[in-house]
Amino acid sequence: MKYRLLAALCLAPLLLFAVVYQGGAWATRSYMDEASLQASSALRLAVSALSGHLSRYEPLPALIADQDDIKELIAHPDDKVLRDAANVYLKGINGLLESSDIYVITLDGNTIAASNYDLKASFIGQNFSYRPYFQDAAMGRQSRFYALGTTSLKRGYYFASPIRIGARISGVIVFKVDIDSIETSWRGGEYKIFVSDPEGIVFMTGSPEWLYSSILPLNSARLQRTQASRRYAEAELRPLPITRSTLDGHHLMTMTTADRREYLILTQYMPEAGWTVNVLMDTASVRAQARTTIIAIVLFLCLAGLALAIVLQRRARLAERMRMQIEARNELEHRVEERTADLALVNQRIEEEIAERRLTELELRKTQADLIQAGKLAGLGQMSAALSHELNQPLAAAKTYADSAAMLIDLERVPEARDNIRRISGLIDRMASISRHLRNFARKPNEKLGSVALDAVIADTLEIVSARLHTADADLLIELGSNAVMVHAGFVRLQQVLVNIITNAADAVEGLADRRIHLLAERQDEKIILTIRDHGPGVPAAIIERIFDPFYTTKSVGKGLGLGLSISYNIVKDFGGSLSVSDHPEGGAVFRIELEAATAAQEAAE
């Protein structure tokens, strides 16, 4: 097994070299073929666009040369009226056909009429006998020629046709076509496109810096032929710094400038124009794709080699592991037994802790309930003096009415005695009502949450706090709206919350000039908002954060345990609502109770 591993390690570098060398060539060739297909499509489109644009104007010179007005002008070139008419006619045709220029030349090469007659750079009076298109048309042939205008200094393609009067050639008419629009469309694309003439000079390109550069050596013969036709006027001709090469049948061209770039070049000759259309595609992306492919293959082979080495190593160690596993199994079984015993002990401790926590939770709930009950009883204790007054007053009145009734009976004034007895019965009912509300309030609640009528809770609350309000000489102003308000709560516990907050408000306004307390209920979406506002000194900012803490109170000793607001906060929280406090901008404290409104289903069930 060891010798096999060594042999594999020795062969790995050779295999990796072969893959990199052969795979790199294959990947480059494959991507280059794909790039060549894409560039071929771009080349065909460029050639079609040029051919279509030029063929649109090719038959037009012969058609205009056959016009009687043009023939008449050639026959009488010095006639000013004919010249003016021809100038206007050619200008209109030029605008209609969107060509560059149209002009008429006599056989001596002089231009006698032109579409640009009214421009500063007019062709009229210019001699173009040196242009090949004129020479060919003067010999009776339809002619084409591309050049840079010597007068307008604008590039264009020229179509020339002879003007015949009978069987004799008397002049030449020339169409100059602007092809800048096609050249503009080549800029900024994925490919670099340029057109070269038979001498290899670039005269159309999407890269302006290449214009009038030569892709062939600029020898004296080529320069002489170009200068003889003045094809490019006074433009400076220069060689394009390139080197050519081939790769698997693909022609490459490398720019030897500062940012050296290699291009895949495809060409197509246009025989009717004598042009060669060239499409260049930057091979940087092709090379990058090939490198990426090779890197991926190398990584795959490395991973495969690593996996093979791991497999061989694992097989070598498998026998040793089997032997070690037998020993480890016995040790493991022993440790499992020990761990099992430890886990059993831990589980037992956890169960004991859970039981203790459940018991603690039950004790906590009981303590919380006792705390709520203590808070209510503490509140009743604080109100005991006022409640005693509330009960003593009707008792004294009842005693007076009873004594009066006895005297009236002795005087046989029975109707008046009966009225006193009726009043005594009313006083007894009032004391019974106060006693009933106090008994219900003091009882430990075991009620479930449900739909509670807010007006009923407030009415019972008033029975309990009326004595405290009377002692503080406070006015409780209640606004519940016209519609009955139902909330999701517990009747007695909500009553306890309101008793605590209203009692605190009475304590706050006692002895002040403004002793009003406002209780307002309003609905907001699915919430009922209760606000209790007093006109007292308010709640200092330092106290707001602690006001709902248990046993926290600002009252003097004997005036409270500091449990009322803490109990109220937890009761409202149990209802699924919230209790908060803030200072009113105009003075006083505002307690805000937010409760859920009872749903229609709950109200129907209630």
- Asked if the model's pLDDT at residue 8 lies above 60, the reply is no
Check residue 389 and give its pLDDT. 47
Q: Is the pLDDT of residue 511 over 70?
A: yes
Contacts of 27 (CB under 8 A, 6+ apart): 289, 290, 293, 294
How large is the average pLDDT for residues 431-444?
Answer: 57
Average pLDDT over residues 325-339: 85
| Mean pLDDT, rounded, for 555-582 | 76
Mean pLDDT, the chain, integer: 79
Task: Answer whether residue 34 shows pLDDT above 50.
Answer: yes
Q: Which pLDDT does position 23 carry in this prediction?
A: 63
pLDDT at 558: 44
The least confident of 342-351, 503-512, 561-570 is 561-570
Position 517 confidence tier, pLDDT thresholds 50, 70, 90:
very high
pLDDT at 430: 59
Lowest mean pLDDT among 123-132, 204-213, 295-304: 204-213
pLDDT class for 238, splitting at 50, 70, 90?
A: confident
Report d(CA 229, CA 147) in Å as an integer. 9
Question: Looking at residue 474, what DSSP letter applies?
Answer: -
Which has the closest alpha carbon to 156: 83, 96, 94, 87? 94
Residues 466-475 have pLDDT tens digits of 878 888 899 9
What pLDDT, on the 0 to 100 scale, is given for residue 162?
93
Average pLDDT over residues 61-76: 87
Instruction: Give the DSSP H/E element, type plus range, for residue 452.
Output: strand 450-453
State what percent of residues in the chain have pLDDT above 90. Answer: 10
Residue 601's pLDDT is: 45
Q: What would the mean pLDDT of 132-153 be, rounded to a whole number?
A: 82
What pLDDT score was predicted for residue 557?
42
Distance of alpha carbon 239 from alpha carbon 232, whole angstroms: 15
pLDDT digit string, tens, across residues 155-212: 778 889 999 988 889 899 998 887 777 777 777 767 778 887 777 788 777 777 777 7
Categorise residue 142: left if φ over 0, alpha if ψ from -120 to 50, beta otherwise: beta
Does residue 534 surpass a pLDDT of 70?
A: yes
| Per-residue pLDDT, 321 | 83
- pLDDT recorded at residue 294: 79
Mean pLDDT of the 265-294 span: 79
Q: Over the stretch 381-408, which tens digit does the pLDDT of each residue have?
A: 555 544 554 565 567 557 766 877 788 8
Tell me which of 554 and 578 has the higher pLDDT.
578
Q: What is the pLDDT of residue 262?
A: 81
| pLDDT (0 to 100) of residue 376 | 57
> Left if phi > 0, otherwise alpha if psi is -120 to 50, otherwise beta: which for 356?
alpha
Q: Is the pLDDT of residue 81 over 60?
A: yes
pLDDT at 386: 47
For 480-510, how does the pLDDT look when each residue is reduced to its tens digit (9 = 90+)?
Answer: 877 778 899 988 888 888 988 998 898 889 8
Arithmetic mean of pLDDT, 541-552: 73
Contacts within 8 Å (CB) and 24+ apart, 558-562: 559/382, 559/507, 560/378, 560/382, 561/374, 561/375, 561/378
In this predicted structure, what is the pLDDT of residue 18? 62
| Rounded distance between C-alpha atoms, residue 402 and residue 418, angstroms | 10
Place of tokens 């080495």: 309
Question: CB count, 10 Å around CB of 304?
Answer: 10
- DSSP-assigned letter for residue 243: E
Answer positive or negative: Cα dihedral of 497, 500, 502, 508.
Answer: negative
Which of 208-222, 345-359, 514-528, 589-603 shows the lowest per-residue confidence on average (mean pLDDT)?
A: 208-222
Rounded CA separation 466/472 (Å):
10
Q: What angle (nearest 5°) sits at the alpha carbon of residue 383, between those of residues 379 and 387?
A: 135
Query: Which range scores top for mean pLDDT: 49-58, 226-235, 359-368, 510-519?
Result: 510-519
